[in-house]
Amino acid sequence: MVLFAFCLFLFGCQAKMVSPPPPESFPTSPPSSLTEKPILLPDLTLSSITTDESGKLVTVLSNIGKTLVSPPFGKLKIYVDDDLRWSLPLDGISDPAFLQPGGVTRYTTPVELEGTHSVRAIIDSDDEILEENESNNILTKSLSYEMVVRLPPPSSSLPPVPSKPEDQEPILLSPEIRVTDLSLNPQRRVVVTLANVGKGIFLLRDGTLKVSVDGTPRGSYTLRSFSAQDYLLPEESMTFPTSVTFAGRHEVYATIDIDPGLKERKKESGGFRKMLEGLPVRPDIIVKELELTEDYELSIHLSNSGEGELPKGTTFRIRVYLNDQKVSDFDHLVSEPLRPLSGNRYAIDPPYRIRISGTSKVRVSIWPKGISDDIRLDNNTIERYFVIYPFKIGPHKSEDFPLLSLSYPLKKRGQKEKVRTEVRWDGGGFPLRLSLIGSGSSQKPPVVSGRSPLRLEVPIEEEKDRRRQPWRISVANLMEKKVEGTLIIQTP
């Protein structure tokens, strides 16, 4: 009996040891309070880097994000010709306004320039701050400074360093956008001048410009559509040419509407009212383009971009310069009216033929005899370069021609010019192919094919298009026999 009872005791202990405890239950999803909160991030950016009167580098730091920058802080680093010249933690900058949403700080570094150097500034160089956009933390510019007289700085005590932003409530710096002026440009378009008179950054996407003439609404424009930049810094101003035009004297009123959801941070814009007097309705004659006849002689094409018709019988004085030498000076009596708003073109062939060959620079200027025959004279001159290449291309072969790097003037943003190419050849009923490579204006090179004459135009919109690899014009012979012809290139 004793042995049997001892066995039952051992069996019971073993059963207790083998039985595992019940598994703990864990939540399969985070609490709803964590998923519903939006994540707001700061966005530090370097708006500009310049030199002051003593040659020191001045940076403009700003936070265009939606929340305060909090520790850990990154560093501001300055490189000159790829050498590190200055490094400072961001919380060591005496004016911490740039750490606040919408805040801006102009910080003068101790780095001084002498001569011309490549300067690179990096904010949050070690990526210690989590931001909305990390791509706007680097700014590189070529800066120059020549020291004439260096005066010792006036002695002054340094201002006290403010407490760190995490120790105080964040202060939102509000922008204040205002219309400060109204004017008319030579095309009689209303031009609006805006200024940010507040202390914070104004994002252009948050504003809409509205223009009225004599109390009647004439236009509504988002500010972002006027400019390539995204914001307006404090104490900065910009001009915006609108599409509103008129003739005579009228009262113009312009105001800025702010996004209603952001009015708590952006002060209301006051409207601006002004009497403006538009130029009268008159013709505006321009030299539209230059052409070459079948004998490669110059032909001048005029157009009327104004709102008034140019009557038949109007007299113009026309001068032609070839390679900066005056080769023709004559009066021309217009034989047919020129309709307004570029309704038609009018061709003029100089009385003494001007033949173009090789590489030639051509400039044509026109002047009306009557003061009322042309409302603007600043667009009455055109200058073009012509390059003419003769060629002989075998069957199913091609030949490339360089587009010379001619020193035509750079155009401002938004102004467009064109490179015009034309191929003429004997036996024009047989096709050729013309293409322009290296323009940077599109991913695929523009190509046309067909019979003589074959023309191709490519727009040049910005300076960067001129700095890419040299352009090449390719002429391909699609025929079974050799072809002889001429390639004409015309550039601004």
- In tens, the pLDDT along 43-86 reads 888 888 888 878 888 898 888 887 888 777 788 888 998 888 88
Q: Taking the CA of residue 463 as centre, how many other CA atoms within 13 Å lie in the half-sphere pointing to its CB? A: 6
pTM: 0.50
Q: Taking the CA of residue 92 as centre, how many other CA atoms within 13 Å lie in the half-sphere pointing to its CB? A: 11
Fold of 177-278: Immunoglobulin-like (2.60.40)
Distances (CA, A) of 56 to 59, 147, 461: 10, 11, 35
CATH pick for 285-491 out of 2.60.40.10, 3.40.50.10420, 2.60.120.380, 3.40.1050.10? 2.60.120.380
> pLDDT value at position 27?
46
Those residues of the chain that have pLDDT short of 70 are 1-38, 125, 147-173, 260-270, 404-416, 428, 438-445, 460-470
> pLDDT value at position 438?
67
- Please say whether the beta carbons of 298 and 292 come within 8 A: yes
Numbered ranges of CATH 2.60.40.10 in the chain: 44-146, 177-278
In this structure, which amino acid lies at residue 483? V
Which contiguous run of DSSP H or E holds residue 272?
Answer: strand 272-278
Residues in the chain: 492
Which is it for strands 272-278 and 248-258: parallel, antiparallel or unpaired?
antiparallel
Sign (positive or negative) of CA dihedral 181, 185, 188, 191: negative
Q: Cα(484)–Cα(472) distance, rounded to whole angstroms?
A: 19
> pLDDT value at position 347?
94
- Please say whether the beta carbons of 175 and 220 come within 8 A: no
Structure tokens belonging to residue 377: 């004279």
Fold of 44-146: Immunoglobulin-like (2.60.40)
Numbered ranges of CATH 2.60.120.380 in the chain: 285-491
User: Tens digit of pLDDT for each residue in 110-147?
Assistant: 888 888 888 988 887 677 777 777 778 888 888 887 76
Q: Cα(268)–Cα(271) distance, rounded to whole angstroms?
A: 10
- Please say whether the beta carbons of 446 and 454 come within 8 A: no
Structure tokens belonging to residue 175: 């922008």
